[in-house]
Amino acid sequence: MAEPMGHPSPILDIRVTRAGDVLVVGVAGELDIDTIPEVRATIASGLVEHPSALVLDLSEVSFFSSAGLSLLLEVRSRVDTLAVVATGRAVLRPIQLTFLGPLLTVFDSVDDALASVASTRGVRRD
């Protein structure tokens, strides 16, 4: 189970950076029902600053549950420009099996994702 907000989780690491006006949230570890609230809160906090796009880096996620899939759909509905970075089977396989692939833009690296969103603008503020 994830630790309360403000305390690091032993199974999850979240990194927040900016590349210009693009918010980059990197997640490492296990993404499941217990850790999703921490990731959700981190993303929501970053969206307050109205970035032009969100890059969600899941390349270091070792476990990805259906709660992770729900989070992707939720985030996709909140932003106009979302790029997902996923390289491992733990994340890619559930996306493929649930047919979410066509709904998401998935990249092999943060650099590729940033290059793709460089000229895209607009995060919904609702």
**According to CATH, what is the number of the domain 17-116?**
3.30.750.24
CA 1, 39, 67: angle at the middle one, nearest 5? 65
Q: Which amino acid is at 109?
A: S
- Over range 3-8, report the average pLDDT: 45
Question: For residue 90, is pLDDT > 60?
Answer: yes
Task: Report the pLDDT value the prediction gives residue 59, as an integer from 0 to 100.
Answer: 97
Per-residue confidence at 123, pLDDT binned at 50, 70, 90?
A: very low
Q: What is the pLDDT of residues 49-61, one digit of tens each?
A: 999 999 999 999 9
Task: Report the pLDDT value the prediction gives residue 57, as an integer from 0 to 100.
Answer: 98
Rounded CA-CA distance 112/117 in Å is: 9
Q: Extract the tokens encoding 29.
A: 């570890």
Residue carrying structure tokens 């970075």: 85
Task: Report the pLDDT value the prediction gives residue 118, as an integer from 0 to 100.
Answer: 84
Domain boundaries along the sequence of the chain: 17-116
